[in-house]
Amino acid sequence: MTLPSTYADRNCSVARALEIVGERWTLLIIRDAFFGVRRFGDFANQLKIPRAVLTNRLKFLVKEGVLIRDDDATGGVEYRLTAKGVALWPVVRALMNWGDAFYSPSGVKRAERHDQDGGLLDHDGRCEDCGLVVPVPEIRIEPGPGFDLTDSDHDPVSGAINTPHRLLEPIMRPRTLSAAEGELSATRAAERAHR
């Protein structure tokens, strides 16, 4: 559902940007792409989003040049952020910081570090150790003090996302995931059998 475009919005870049990223799920898809999710099935598992909705969102983001759809090394399809997409990191970071400040009393849920020297990043993305404004591919993301493991999903995709790693770095080898997905469907089949 796109936000209605009004006359007043035509001169507002916030409204224009929200026409691209303001739909339900879209920013979460983009967040996961930063965290290294690339495959349709991984987005679907991680976000618990209806597949038809995910298809629409991905198509739209590709059309808008935020994501690129590409063949991966194994003949599958993957979605990666373009430069235009990567330029959204400050938006995701600002939302993260805002959420931490007002809704995470025990501290930040995820911390950003400069991968090279381990320095923490401030709200503007500047490394507190070396003073550099750290480019996105050199940012390491890791669970912070406010991150509650017991509240987190324990599927392989979430596990990989929650392991400290650099942004945009793909989270997982396809074979590992297929095995994991196999396990998951086996578990589901077992659950059905028990009902």
What is the separation, in whole angstroms, between the first and last Cα of the chain?
37
Residue 181 in contact with Zn ion, rule: CB under 5 A: no
Rounded Cα distance between 109 and 124, Å, is 17
The burial of 21, by beta-carbon neighbours within 10 Å (0-12 exposed, 13-18 middle, 19 or more buried), is given as middle
Closer of 117 and 148 to Zn ion (Cβ): 117
Show the site string, 95-134: x = touches Zn ion by CB under 5 A, - = not. -------------------x--x-x-------x-xx----
Closer of 49 and 120 to Zn ion (Cβ): 120
- The minimum distance between CB 135 and Zn ion, in angstroms, equals 11
Closer of 80 and 165 to Zn ion (Cβ): 165
Q: Which tokens sit at 22? A: 């303001």
Closer of 39 and 110 to Zn ion (Cβ): 110
DSSP 49-100: --HHHHHHHHHHHHHTTSEEEEE-TTS-EEEEE-HHHHTTHHHHHHHHHHHH
Q: Which residues bind Zn ion (CB under 5 A)?
A: 114, 117, 119, 127, 129-130
